């Protein structure tokens, strides 16, 4: 095709970069002036947001009214940042995903106050090679706060976790911090689909890396790890706030894309006795939240690309994020924060890049969607 579209995108990106450079030292009055000018230019071209670039005022990420108060347990609230699903290739092949994770690292390092620690949510590598994992390790080493690592299927299925464990240690572990019990799970085990098919390690890896590839098995925590989890939780009083990190959602959202954990119900049963439970997961690359029993679930954003919402099974409490603009490589991506409240629940901030951040207070899930409702999207999924 003779028509090349690239120039339009380039123009668009250049325009935005210029405005952003000019914004760096603006006070509020000048900001409003610049924003009005940009909006005027947009109107003059007959374009309407959100497809064209327009300045919006990005307030400091809103925190829930409960954050910052000291609850009856007396534990001090604290903040956790996260970065997830960066899907790095080797440095020579793909710079785009590197730029994205570096941006997330800069975001986290710029947080004031600094988070107590950073969760890395899994899928650091795209195809699990040592080079990819090592590249990720080097980038994450730039983070100022301590990092807690979680493994994803893209990190695992080339060598079944050898390189990852060598670099980052065991894939499932627990720790206590400021009165909260944290558990990190390896939730992306799969039943052996590769031996009978005589797959090479890379074929196995590529099969798992294909979200819509039906040959692979469904994710599971597995019996052995569930036993470990039961034993770990047996030592913890049920009144202790509990936060579980898993790469896959610990519930059944959409089987065909492995937005799914096969033994989710059994894992949930182990968590239900606790009075304050939060599950935080990666893998789904979208704003996603759910409540089952007394468990609050939050999905994390990816730095690499957003996934579309699945055609079925979206939790009714989830409020979709606006569609991602394909012409903006970082739109729909981002990082985020969890504000650990004094009452042991979590308020979540989706720090979507180039957009207003979206805050999801725990009260929204607790009330079954009746209060603290996050803003609705203008353009939900097709």
Partner 1 sequence: MHRYQVALLLAAGGLVSSAGMAIAPRVLNAQQPVAHHPVPATKNGNVVVMLCDGKTSLEIKGLKPGHTMTHDQATAVARQLMQKWQRAHPGELWQMAQEEGTQMRPTTTEQGNPSPNLPSAPNQPPSGEAPNPVPHPANPVQEQVQGVPVHRQAQPQQQGDTYASFNQRDFRVWQAETQKFVEYGKRVFHSDKLLGGTIGVSCDMCHPDAANTHPETYPKYQVQLQRVALLRDMIEWCIENPVKGATMSPNDPRLRALEAYILAQRKGVPLNYGKH
Residues that bind partner 1 (CB under 8 A): 1, 4-6, 8-9, 12, 47-48, 51-52, 89, 93-96, 126, 210-215, 256-257, 305-308, 310-311, 323, 325-327, 329, 379, 381-382
Quote the least distance from Cβ 303 to partner 1, whole Å.
Answer: 14
Please, are residues 187 and 216 in contact by the beta-carbon 8 Å criterion? no
> How many angstroms separate the most distant Cα atoms in the chain?
68
Q: Would you call the peptide bond into 50 cis, given omega within 30 degrees of 0 as the criterion? A: yes
1 or 231: whose CB is closer to partner 1?
Answer: 1
The 10 Å Cβ neighbour count of residue 362 is: 24
Quote the least distance from Cβ 323 to partner 1, whole Å.
Answer: 8
Tokens 């609705």, residue?
376
Quote the least distance from Cβ 147 to partner 1, whole Å.
Answer: 25
Quote the least distance from Cβ 132 to partner 1, whole Å.
Answer: 10
Number of residues in the chain: 382
9 or 224: whose CB is closer to partner 1?
Answer: 9
- Backbone φ/ψ region at 88: left (φ over 0), alpha (ψ -120 to 50), beta: beta
Where would I find the beta strands (DSSP E) of the chain?
A: 78-83, 117-120, 147-149, 173-177, 180-184, 242-246, 277-281, 288-292, 295-299, 334-340, 346-352, 358-360
181 or 204: whose CB is closer to partner 1?
Answer: 204
Quote the least distance from Cβ 301 to partner 1, whole Å.
Answer: 14
Quote the least distance from Cβ 38 to partner 1, whole Å.
Answer: 16
310 or 365: whose CB is closer to partner 1?
Answer: 310
232 or 256: whose CB is closer to partner 1?
Answer: 256
Measured N-to-C along each axis, helices 96-109 and 130-140 cross at an angle, to the nearest 10 degrees, of: 30
171 or 299: whose CB is closer to partner 1?
Answer: 299
Phi, psi of 5 (to 5 degrees): -95, -10
Which tokens belong to 163? 């390189």
């Amino acid at each position: 095709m003779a028509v090349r579209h690239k120039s339009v995108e380039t123009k668009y990106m250049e325009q935005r970069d210029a405005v952003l450079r000019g914004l760096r030292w603006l006070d509020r009055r000048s900001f409003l002036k610049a924003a009005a000018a940009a909006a005027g230019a947009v109107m003059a071209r007959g374009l309407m947001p959100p497809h064209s670039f327009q300045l919006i005022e990005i307030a400091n990420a809103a925190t829930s009214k409960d954050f910052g108060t000291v609850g009856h347990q007396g534990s001090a609230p604290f903040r956790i940042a996260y970065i997830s699903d960066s899907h790095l290739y080797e440095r020579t092949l793909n710079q785009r995903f590197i730029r994205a994770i570096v941006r997330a690292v800069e975001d986290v390092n710029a947080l004031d106050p600094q988070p107590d620690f950073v969760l890395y949510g899994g899928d650091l590598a795209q195809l699990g090679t040592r080079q990819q994992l090592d590249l990720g390790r080097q980038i994450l080493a730039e983070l100022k706060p301590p990092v807690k690592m979680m493994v994803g299927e893209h990190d695992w299925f080339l060598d079944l976790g050898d390189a990852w464990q060598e670099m980052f240690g065991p894939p499932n572990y627990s720790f206590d911090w400021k009165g909260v019990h944290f558990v990190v799970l390896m939730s992306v085990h799969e039943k052996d689909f590769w031996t009978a098919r005589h797959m090479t390690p890379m074929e196995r890896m590529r099969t798992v890396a294909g979200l819509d590839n039906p040959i692979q098995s469904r994710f599971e925590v597995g019996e052995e790890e569930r036993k470990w989890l039961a034993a770990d939780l047996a030592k913890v009083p049920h009144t202790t706030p509990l936060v579980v990190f898993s790469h896959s959602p610990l519930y059944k959202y959409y089987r065909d894309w492995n937005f799914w954990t096969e033994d989710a119900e059994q894992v949930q049963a182990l968590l239900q006795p606790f009075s304050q439970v939060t599950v935080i997961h990666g893998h789904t690359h979208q704003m996603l939240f759910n409540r089952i029993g007394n468990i609050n679930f939050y999905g994390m954003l990816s730095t690499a690309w957003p996934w579309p919402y699945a055609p079925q099974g979206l939790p009714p409490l989830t409020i979709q994020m606006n569609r991602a603009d394909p012409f903006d490589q970082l739109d729909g991506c981002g990082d985020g924060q969890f504000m650990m409240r004094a009452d042991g629940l979590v308020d979540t901030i989706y720090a979507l890049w180039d957009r207003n951040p979206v805050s999801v207070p725990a009260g929204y899930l607790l009330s079954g969607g009746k209060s603290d409702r996050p803003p609705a999207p203008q353009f939900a999924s097709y």
